Amino acid sequence: MTKADLIALAERCEALRGYSNEIDVLAELALFKPDDDYVSVRANHAGTKVVYTTASGHDQTYWAPDHTISNAARQKTSASLRAIAEEMDG
């Protein structure tokens, strides 16, 4: 995602007045950080779940974490997205 994409996603998150699975998926893709267990993440074909790829190359499909379940969660997610955007050049 570009800096503009992250800021736009943060704005969408802030504008929500309820839960959004679509934004939960997009936020998880943007916020994901590879580690020793999971090396990448992508949306499933329908865009309704996230697919994590393990270090051993296996895919595991899950519902996205609840980034938009409450106002506090939306604020935290938006702040995290903006922080990542600020770290980017351009």
- Max Cα distance, the chain (Å): 39
DSSP for residue 49: S
Distance, CA of 59 to CA of 3 (rounded, Å)? 28
Q: What does the domain layout of the chain look like in residue ranges?
A: 3-87
Q: What is residue 62's three-state secondary structure? A: strand
Each residue's pLDDT tens digit, 37-85: 999 999 999 999 999 999 999 999 999 999 999 999 999 999 999 999 9
**Residue 25 carries which side chain, given as an amino acid letter?**
V
User: Can you say how many angstroms the Cα of residue 24 is from the centroid of all Cα atoms in its chain?
Assistant: 6
Query: In which band, very low, low, confident or very high, does the pLDDT at 35 lie, cut at 50, 70 and 90?
Result: very high
Distance, CA of 34 to CA of 28 (rounded, Å)? 12
Per-residue pLDDT at 90 exceeds 80: no
pLDDT given for residue 89 in this prediction? 80
